[in-house]
Amino acid sequence: MKKLALLLGLSSLLMSCAQDDTQSGTTTCCTGYNRSVRNLGNPQVTLETEMGDIVIEVMIDKAPLSGNDFLTYVEQGLYEGEGFYRIVRANENDNGSPRIDVIQGGLIDYEKGLPYIAHETTEMTGIKHTDGTLSLARDEPGTGSAAYFVIVLGDQPGLDYGGIRNPDMQGFATFGQVVSGMDVVRKIHSVPADRFIQEEGYTGGQILKEPVRIISARIN
């Protein structure tokens, strides 16, 4: 359950391993995802869920390490059959401060996870936690990866670099934006309270008994 509810915590410095080949126009990242800068730009990903489709622009131009890690999970089919399993509602079950509205998804089977990546702060990327932004969940320094990600509802500056959601004030690594399907995000966020596991602790009342499953994830 600790893996499943990976929390937003401390960070490490960015160790970008992206390399640009200016002649070929191709960027290769350590996660293994390759893209043609001229031909593709920022890719879009569709998450097909039990409640509908969510389309995400992955901002690899601003967040190459985090964005490419997410794309690697998509390319390798690691999200298929996984889901959204944690719902945080500011006025109901949030145990942190400042209170936030997010849904958390990714791997249910944490053993499928790829190696952790270093931390790209919002100060580095310039991508703030506004309505529909995606960012990586993390625990101890160096434990963030696209195995676990959140989608925020409303503006959540407490999650940005310098925000006070965590004592370290390093924020969380943003990498994408929902461009279609925020109605689906809100539907997931508003599931009835009787679907939650009632337990003590930081994530008490936030974990779903049955996740909202991701049927497929694909690069458009």
Please report, in angstroms and rounded to a whole number, the separation of the first and last CA atoms in the chain: 32
Residue 69 — φ and ψ, nearest 5°? Answer: -65, -45
Domains of the chain by start residue, with CATH: 42-219 (2.40.100.10)
Q: What is the pLDDT of residue 141?
A: 59
- Amino acid present at 12: S
HSE at residue 193, side-chain half, CA atoms within 13 A, is: 9
pLDDT for 26: 34
Among all chains, which residue has been given the structure tokens 């924020």?
Answer: 171
pLDDT for position 173: 96
Distances (CA, A) of 88 to 19, 145, 151, 178: 37, 20, 11, 18
Q: How far apart are CA 104 and CA 46, in angstroms?
A: 16
Q: pLDDT tens digits, residue range 70-126?
A: 999 999 999 999 999 999 999 988 888 899 999 999 999 988 999 999 999 999 999
